[in-house]
Structure 1
Amino acid sequence: MSRGKPIGRLFLFFAMFALLLTGCEKPLSNVLDPQGKIGKEQLELINLSVYIMIFVCVIVFAIFFYVLLRFRRKPGDNAIPKQVEGSLMLETLWIVIPIILLVILAIPTVMTTFSQAKEAPKTASEDFIRVKATGHQFWWEFEYPDYKIRTSQELHIPVGKKVYVEVTSDDVVHAFWVPGLAGKVDASPGRINRIPIDADKPGIYKGRCAELCGASHALMNFQVVAEKPSEFEKWAKKRQKPKSEPQTVEAKDGKKVFAQNCMSCHAIDGTKLKMKGDKAPNLTGFAKRNKIGGLLDNNEKNLDRWLKNPEKVKPGTYMPGFSHLNKKDLSSLKTYLKSLK
C-alpha cells in the first residue's frame, strides 16, 4: 500500500501533463478545428460517433444506477429476490438498438470513406491539382505531375481547390498527416494510397509523419503552404523556370563547393550543371523555404548548425556533416544556398 500512493500520484501527474500538452499546438494544427472541407467531413464522423457513444453511456449508466437503487437489499429484508428467467422484449431491444446505432454510424462512414478515396480525374482541371507525396527517412518529396515540378518539405496548394495526394514511400512505412486539413494515410513502399486535402483560407499548416519509422520519426515534419490561386500559380511558374545561377563571386565559389560535395544527392533546377540528385531533398528555391530540414527556422545560424552536424539535429539522417570544409568554402556554400530564390 505504501508503494501504491507514489505510483498513483505519478500517474495522475503525467495524465494532467498530457492534458495540458493538448493545448500547445497552434490553431492551424488542430484536428478538431479543420480548415478545409475534407477535414470537416471527417470531423462530422468523429462527432457522430461521439454522440452515439454518449447516448449509449447515458442509457447504460441510467439503467445501472436505477437497478442499483431500486433492487438494493433493504434493512431486514432477507428474502430471496424474485428470479427472472428472461425477457424476450428486453433481449430483442438490446440486440436491435445496437444494430440500429451501428447502421447509423456505418452508412455515412462508408459513404465518406469511398468518396474521399476516389482517384484524381485523369484530365487536368482548374478545380483540382494532383500531387505525389513520397516519404523518405526522414523527409518528404512532393511532385506535381501537371506542372512538371518537384520539391521537398513544403507542399504548396491553392486555397479553395481539392488536392488529390498520392502517397507512397521510398524505404520504410511512413504516414502522411496534416492535422489541420485532413486525416492520415499510410505511405507504404510499392503501394500508392490516396487522400484528398483542401484549405479554406491561406496559411501554413503543419504536417507530420504519423508512423514510427526510425530514429528521427518525431522530427520528420513538413509544411503545407496554402495560398491564393494566383499566388500558387506564380510560385509554380517560378519553380518551372527557376533562376539558380549565382550572381556574385562568392556564390559562384559556393556553387563549385556544392558541385563537389552535394550534387550527387541533391538536385537544383535552373543551373547549367546537371544537378539531378534524387537521394536527398530538391533544394531549388531553398532560400524561400521556411524551414531547414523540415525542422529548423531558415536563417544563417541554423544553416551553419545544419551543415556542420546534421546528425546531431536529426539523428539517423543520411546527410554527412561538412565540418571538414574550411571557413571560406563553408561561407561560400551558405552564400550560394541563400541565393536560391
Structure 2
Amino acid sequence: MYLGWALAGLSVAICFIIALLLLTAIFRKRKTSNPHKIESEGKGLQWVYIGTGISTVILFVLVIYSLTVLNQVAKPSQTPSITITVTGYDWWWKVEYEHDDPAKRFITANEIHIPVGQSVLIKLKSADVIHAFWVPKLAGKTQMIPGLINQQWIQADVPGVYTGQCTQFCGVGHAHMSLEVVAESVEDFEKWQNAQRQPATQVLRAEQDSGYKLFMDRCAGCHAVRGTDAKGEHGPDLTHLNSRRRLAAGVLTNTPDHLMEWIGNAQLLKPGSRMPSFKLSESEISALALFLSTLD
C-alpha cells in the first residue's frame, strides 16, 4: 500500500514540476534586442545535466525501495498460520486446507476463509490450462501453470469479503471464474474450520431417500460428499454446500431456487462448463432439493 502511495505521490509531483517548467518556458520573455541570439553555448545544457542527474538518483532510489517492498511481500514476516492449496479448473477453484494431521485436512470450493491479521500461504496449481489467481485487495496476480506449483501469501487486516478473479483468459467460461476470500476473526474462523472438517450430517437417514439415490446416480461421479459413497473429483466437493455464499464460482447466490436453476440450466448459465444441464421431473427436483438442503 505504501509503495503505491509513494509512486503515486512522486508521479503527481513530477507532472507538476514538468507543467511548471513548460509554462515558464512558454511565458518567459526573451530580450527584445536580439531574441534569436543564443547567449552562451552550452549554458542551457547544464540544466539538462542537472535534471538527468536528479532523475537518475530518484529512479535508483525507487528501484531499491520497490525491490525491498516486493521482497517483504514475497516473504511474510511471520510463519503462515495456515497453508491452502488452490487448484484452478475450467472454471472453478478447488480449495484444500492442509494440515500435518491428515484427519484435519478438508476440501471446499470457490470460497476461501482466513483469520484476520494472520499470514496465509497459498499454493497455486492448475488442473488443465493456465489460470491466474488474483485477489486485488490482498495480493498481486500469480500464474497457475499445469505441472508447476507457484505460491503467494495473503493477509487481511480487516474483516470482510474480498472478491478475486481468474485474470488469465482460460476459455469460454473465463469471465465466470471468480472466488471470494472471507476474512473473519480467529474465533469465527476456528468455528468454520471445525465445521468444515465434519462429514455431511443426516447421511444415514438420507440413504433411504430418493433424493440421495438420485444424487448418487446422477452427481456422485463428479462430486464428493464426505460421509457418503460419493467420491467424485471432477467437480466441487459438496459436503458443506449450504455454508457457501455463492454457486458455480460466483454465477449465482446460494439459495435453494438458484441451486435448482443451476442444476437444470448449467450450460445456459455457464456455457462450456463440465456441469451438464439436467432435465428432471418435478418429483425428482423436489427429492434432490431435499437431499441437498441437508448439506450444511
Same fold? TM cut 0.5: yes
CA distance in 2, matches of 1:280, 1:312: 18
Quick check: 1:246–1:252 contact (8 Å CA) kept in 2? Answer: no
Identity %: 35
Q: Deviations over 1:313-340 (max 9, x none)?
A: 11221110111x2222222112111110
1:192 aligns with 2:145: no
Structure 1 residues 267-282: aligned runs within 5 Å: 267-271=224-228, 273=229, 275-282=230-237
Structure 1 residues 111-122: aligned runs within 5 Å: 111-118=68-75
Shift of 1:249: 5.9
Q: Which residue of 1 aligns with 2:97?
A: 144
Shift of 1:83: 6.6
Q: Which residue of 2 aligns with 1:131?
A: 84
CA distance in 2, matches of 1:229, 1:331: 38
Q: Deviations over 1:170-190 (max 9, x none)?
A: 222222122232332222222
- Give me the CA root mean square deviation: 2.5
Unaligned runs of 5+ in 1: 1-42
Quick check: 2:203–2:227 contact (8 Å CA) kept in 1? Answer: no
Q: Which residue of 2 aligns with 1:292?
A: 247
CA distance in 1, matches of 2:31, 2:170: 57
Q: In structure 2, what residue type is equivalent to 1:203?
A: G
Q: Residue 314 of structure 1: which of 261, 270, 284 is its match?
A: 270
Quick check: 1:131–1:145 contact (8 Å CA) kept in 2? Answer: yes
CA distance in 2, matches of 1:191, 1:83: 65
Q: Which residue of 1 aligns with 2:51?
A: 94
Q: Which residue of 1 aligns with 2:162?
A: 205
CA distance in 2, matches of 1:86, 1:129: 63
CA distance in 2, matches of 1:120, 1:145: 21
Q: Which residue of 2 aligns with 1:18?
A: none
1:254 aligns with 2:211: yes
Quick check: 1:251–1:336 contact (8 Å CA) kept in 2? Answer: no
Unaligned runs of 5+ in 2: none
Q: Residue 259 of structure 2: which of 258, 279, 303 is its match?
A: 303
Q: 1:112 to 1:192 in 2, by over 3 A?
A: farther
Quick check: 2:161–2:182 contact (8 Å CA) kept in 1? Answer: yes
Shift of 1:250: 9.2
TM-score in terms of structure 2 length: 0.88
Q: Deviations over 1:44-95 (max 9, x none)?
A: 1111111111121111111111111115797xx8853327643453232222
Structure 1 residues 58-69: aligned runs within 5 Å: 58-69=16-27
Higher relative contact order (CA 8 A, sep 6+): 1
Q: In structure 2, what residue type is equivalent to 1:93?
A: I
Q: Residue 172 of structure 1: which of 109, 122, 129 is its match?
A: 129
Q: Which residue of 2 aligns with 1:106?
A: 63
Specify the SS of the correspondent of 1:267.
Answer: coil
Q: Deviations over 1:157-178 (max 9, x none)?
A: 1112111111222222222122
CA distance in 2, matches of 1:268, 1:97: 64
Shift of 1:137: 1.3
Q: 1:82 to 1:299 in 2, by over 3 A?
A: same
Shift of 1:200: 2.2
CA distance in 1, matches of 2:247, 2:255: 8
Q: Which residue of 1 aligns with 2:7?
A: 49
Q: In structure 2, what residue type is equivalent to 1:195?
A: Q
